[in-house]
Amino acid sequence: MKRILMILGVFLVGINFATAKTKNSLTIEAPYAYGTTSVQKNAAVFMSIHREDQFELDQPEDYEATPMFLTKAETDVAERVELHTHIMDGDVMMMREVEHYELNNDETLTLEPMGHHIMLFDLKAPLEVGAEFPMTLYFGDDNRRDIMVKVVKPGETP
């Protein structure tokens, strides 16, 4: 019986040891949106998101991090929020909704005008320059980050 308990204990420690190998570290820099007028009903949010896995143990040479995905965003300032990108369709630049943005280890995802961005549809009130508003970013089902988005003058970056 003692031997079975000892083997079970070693097994459970091994499982815990294996799951504690890495911690995903996300750095979200300079989230911002442009100020809007009372007639503008939509806006976009931009930022940089850097992912770097932090290892508690020595990293194996053949380590390949599994991709992480930004799957959605939420905020109370708009009725609907979508992840978007711009693509060329012939000679025309088109905005399209996407399901997610992929974040690989040691990469930076840049959300910027005329590229990937988060669209805010049916704003509940104009976005006033100098104000901030909360937004939640979801990286899968159980990984979320609450951020504050700064409202800046159109064409500026924080």
User: Residue 143 is part of a domain; what is its CATH number?
Assistant: 2.60.40.1890
Contact 133, 149 (CB under 8 A): yes
Tell me whether residue 124 is in a domain: yes
Contact 73, 81 (CB under 8 A): yes
Is the per-residue pLDDT at 106 higher than 90?
Answer: no
| pLDDT for 82 | 96
The H-or-E segment that residue 68 falls in is strand 68-70
pLDDT digit string, tens, across residues 32-83:
999 999 999 999 999 999 988 755 556 666 666 678 899 999 999 999 999 9
Contact 38, 16 (CB under 8 A): no
Domain that holds residue 51: 25-152
Local structure of 19: helix, strand or coil: helix
Mean pLDDT, the chain, integer? 83
More confidently predicted of 135 and 1: 135
Tell me whether residue 16 is in a domain: no
Is the per-residue pLDDT at 3 higher than 70?
Answer: no
Contact 120, 45 (CB under 8 A): yes
Tell me whether residue 157 is in a domain: no
Give the separation between CA 119 and CA 83, rounded to whole angstroms. Answer: 6
Given CA atoms 51, 55, 60, 65 in this order, what sign does their dihedral have?
A: negative
pLDDT band at 149 (very low <50, low <70, confident <90, very high): very high
Tell me whether residue 139 is in a domain: yes
Tell which residue, 40, 104, 117, has the closest CA to residue 73.
117
Give the separation between CA 69 and CA 72, rounded to whole angstroms. Answer: 9
The total of structural domains in the chain comes to 1
